[in-house]
């Protein structure tokens, strides 16, 4: 527990030091235009840094605690690169270290908020097995998940973003386990609450292996966010699985993000 508190303290210290250095004016000039920052929509791409604290319940009595630091770079209004670095503590192995690093590319082919179909694009998610599987800090597998995403405006305050992905997971190096090829479907539902706050409700259904259609899971993400300054947001996230034969997982996060250009 002492290691966990030390880790979170370091994370908060880094965030406290870095965020003022990145501080900018209340409105940002992005790609030659002056825009208010609105991270509630997945189709709005910004350069940012994000610090989050996380608690995760795995199968059995195994829990992990720690922090995730992510950095996003908006190459243009329609292209984004993101890297996420987790530092975790496993309560069973009593080990602390780096988890599986995530890299993501997101690109838009269409973006027009005045249209009912407001956006369309694709993404590629890659998880590298940098976390120790022996210490319960990683999966031991590469995961590559290309996907397509669309945006639908239901009302000015309600938007839907369906995502379809193909998911390849390499063999983890554990006897009896092999690589899998599956897919997933999710819908990010965005609700504008006013006062610069929003919630996202995301149900997701996944077939983990097309060769075994019974190997499926169903989960929910609940996200709340609020802009506390024109370039700074805070958030909370809850994740829970409804169906997973390997055991139901839950996680909770709190975060702070700084947007800049």
Asked if residue 79 has pLDDT above 90, the reply is yes
Structure confidence at residue 41 (pLDDT) = 95
Structural domain range at position 204: 2-260
Number of domains in the chain: 1
Per-residue DSSP letters for 66-131? EEEEEEEEEEETTEEEEEEEEEEEETTTTEEEE--EEEEEEEEEEE-TTSSEEEEEEEEEEEE--S
Q: What is the rounded average pLDDT for all residues in the chain?
A: 87
* Lowest-confidence region among 55-59, 112-116, 138-142, 219-223: 55-59
- 3-state DSSP call for residue 6? helix
Taking every pair of Cα atoms in the chain, the longest distance, rounded to a whole number of angstroms, is: 56
The pTM is what? 0.85
Residue 14: is it exposed, middle or buried by C-beta count within 10 angstroms (0-12/13-18/19+)? middle
Structure confidence at residue 125 (pLDDT) = 98
Structure confidence at residue 17 (pLDDT) = 47
What is the mean predicted confidence (pLDDT) over 182-196? 96
Structure confidence at residue 248 (pLDDT) = 74
Q: Which two tokens stand for residue 223?
A: 């996200």
Structure confidence at residue 22 (pLDDT) = 45
Asked if residue 29 has pLDDT above 90, the reply is no
Structure confidence at residue 198 (pLDDT) = 98
Structure confidence at residue 147 (pLDDT) = 98
What is the mean predicted confidence (pLDDT) over 225-229? 96
Q: What is the CATH number of the domain that holds 191?
A: 2.40.160.40
* Contact present, 49 and 257 (Cβ < 8 Å): yes
DSSP state of 131: S
Structure confidence at residue 213 (pLDDT) = 73
Phi/psi for 97 (5° steps) reads 175, -170
């Amino acid at each position: 527990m002492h290691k966990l508190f030390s880790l979170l303290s370091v994370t908060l210290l880094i965030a406290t030091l870095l965020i003022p250095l990145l501080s900018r004016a209340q409105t940002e000039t992005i790609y030659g235009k002056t825009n208010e920052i609105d991270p509630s929509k997945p189709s709005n791409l910004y350069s940012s840094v994000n610090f989050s604290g996380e608690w995760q319940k795995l199968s059995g009595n195994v829990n992990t605690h720690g922090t995730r630091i992510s950095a996003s770079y908006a190459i243009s209004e329609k292209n984004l690169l993101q890297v996420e670095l987790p530092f975790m503590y496993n309560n069973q192995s009593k080990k602390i270290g780096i988890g599986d690093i995530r890299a993501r590319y997101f690109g838009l082919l269409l973006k027009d908020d005045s249209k009912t179909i407001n956006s369309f694009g694709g993404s590629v998610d890659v998880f590298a097995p940098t976390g120790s599987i022996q210490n319960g800090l990683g999966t031991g597998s590469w995961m590559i998940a290309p996907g397509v995403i669309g945006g639908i405006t239901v009302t000015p305050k309600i938007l839907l973003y369906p995502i379809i992905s193909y998911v390849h997971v390499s063999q983890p190096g554990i006897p009896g386990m092999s690589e899998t090829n599956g897919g997933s479907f999710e819908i990010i539902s965005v609700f504008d609450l006013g006062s610069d706050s929003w919630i996202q409700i995301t149900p997701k259904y996944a077939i983990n292996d097309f060769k075994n259609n019974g190997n499926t899971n169903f989960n929910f993400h609940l996200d709340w966010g609020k802009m506390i300054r024109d370039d700074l947001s805070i958030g909370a996230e809850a994740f829970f699985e409804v169906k997973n034969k390997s055991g139901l997982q839950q996680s909770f996060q709190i975060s702070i993000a700084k947007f800049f250009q």
